[in-house]
Amino acid sequence: MRPAAGTYPQYFDHYISLVEENEVKLALQKSTEEFLNFIDTLPDEKAEFAYAKDKWTLKELLQHLSDAERIFSYRALRFSRNDTTPLPSFDENEFVEFGNANQRSLHSIVDEFKTVRNATLSLFNSLSNDELNRKGIGSSQTCTALAMGFIIAGHTKHHENIIKERYL
């Protein structure tokens, strides 16, 4: 099942619309296969390339994916466990600024993404429909665990598209 409108903040519509599958576990699995195949083709010489002044390098963008996925997965875990404690937002630009991605190898950043994604798959594969439909609050907005899974898959696709359009 796809997340229904109103079960997630409207500003995530774009990410969710990029997901073709109608089942979260399948969506995450397909996203994983497609993105890992794609990032394995990224040229090392583009690792520290930024397409414009004050834009992230490819390394920073890839690390952003891991950082955001950790946060989104954590939210999904908390929501699925019926934790209604409001969770704070995060500033992705500060995360990138202090993440030191450009001091790391591209290979290490890709390996980190693979590890994070495997943990995400494990989490979502363990959740029942009841758990997926539980709601919580993140960044002052109500969202379900199910929607967080679609957001993760769509966020990955969004950035894959940006890499193809602006980095390669």
The mean per-residue pLDDT over the stretch 81-91 comes to 97
CA distances from 50 to 2, 158, 161 (A): 34, 17, 15
pLDDT category of residue 128 using cuts at 50, 70 and 90:
very high
Instruction: Give the separation between CA 48 and CA 42, rounded to whole angstroms.
Output: 12
Is the pTM of the predicted complex or chain greater than 0.95? Answer: yes
The mean per-residue pLDDT over the stretch 24-35 comes to 98
Which residues in 54-73 are b (16+ Cβ under 10 Å) and which e?
eebbbbbbbbbbbbbbbbbb
Kindly report the CATH number that applies to the domain delimited by 10-167: 1.20.120.450
The mean per-residue pLDDT over the stretch 68-72 comes to 98
